[in-house]
Each structure stands twice: as C-alpha cells, then as structure tokens.
Amino acid sequence: MKHLGREKRHKRIIGKVRGSVEKPRVVVFRSKKHIYAQLIDDESEKVIAGFSTLSKEFKEKKVKSTNKDAAKIVGQMFARRAKELGIEKISFDRAGYKYHGRVKSFADGAKEGGLKF
C-alpha cells in the first residue's frame, strides 16, 4: 500500500531532520482535499504553530483547496504566521511525499513569504 511506504520514508526523514527553537521543523501533510503544515520543536516535542486550507484566514479567500495555487497561498500565509512568531529559518520535512506538485508549491510559497530553508 502506498501510504505505508510514505510512512516508512517519513520515519527515515524524521531521523535526519530535527527541529529546534531557533530552527523548527515544518511538516507538510496533504490529503486529497487539503494541505496542512505545522511548525514543530523536536527538543521540547511541541507544535509551535499550524496552518491549513481549513484555517479561517484561508477560507476567507474563497479559493479551491485542492490545487497547487491553494498550496502556494497556504505557504505564504504560513510564512507570515511564522514571522509573527519570530521564526525565519526552518527545516523542511516533506513527510515522505515527493518534492513535487502541491508540496513544492507550498515550499515555494513559504520561501516567497520570507522563510529560509
């Protein structure tokens, strides 16, 4: 099954990509309808912030949530929220997905928003 392979890849990536208070890990999860992102501090094992296509600010834009354009907008809004928290550098965790399509669009949007990978 596809999702089992992705989960196995994600565990391998987590072993290599660690987040801290200064440089938290950004995890991207995508479903068929939505894209989700979280800032994680692995040292204290806490989620610092999260954003998705289900967030109130995104829904106000009235954009379809299943395409690359939506992923890019979520990336930009996520970057804005991270900057409000004083975070500029991140470790990007693609959660076992290929760096392609919506995951890449999210990353491009976050870079445009001012986050450094």
For 11-39, the pLDDT digits (tens) are 878 777 777 777 899 999 999 999 999 99
What pTM was computed for the model? 0.87
pLDDT at 34: 95
pLDDT at 85: 93
Q: Of 3.10.450.50, 3.10.20.590, 3.40.50.720, 3.30.420.100, which CATH number belongs to 2-112? A: 3.30.420.100
Asked if 51 and 77 touch (Cβ cutoff 8 Å), the reply is: yes
pLDDT at 52: 95
Q: How many other CB atoms are there within 10 angstroms of residue 117's CB atom? A: 11
CA atoms within 13 A on the CB side of 90: 29
Q: Find the angle CA(31)-CA(15)-CA(44) to the nearest 5 degrees.
A: 85
In the predicted model, residues of the chain with pLDDT beneath 70 are none
pLDDT at 16: 75
Strand order in the sheet with 25-30: 46-52, 35-41, 25-30, 91-93
pLDDT at 99: 93
Residues of the chain above pLDDT 70, percent: 100
Rounded to whole angstroms, the Cα distance separating 32 from 87 reads 29
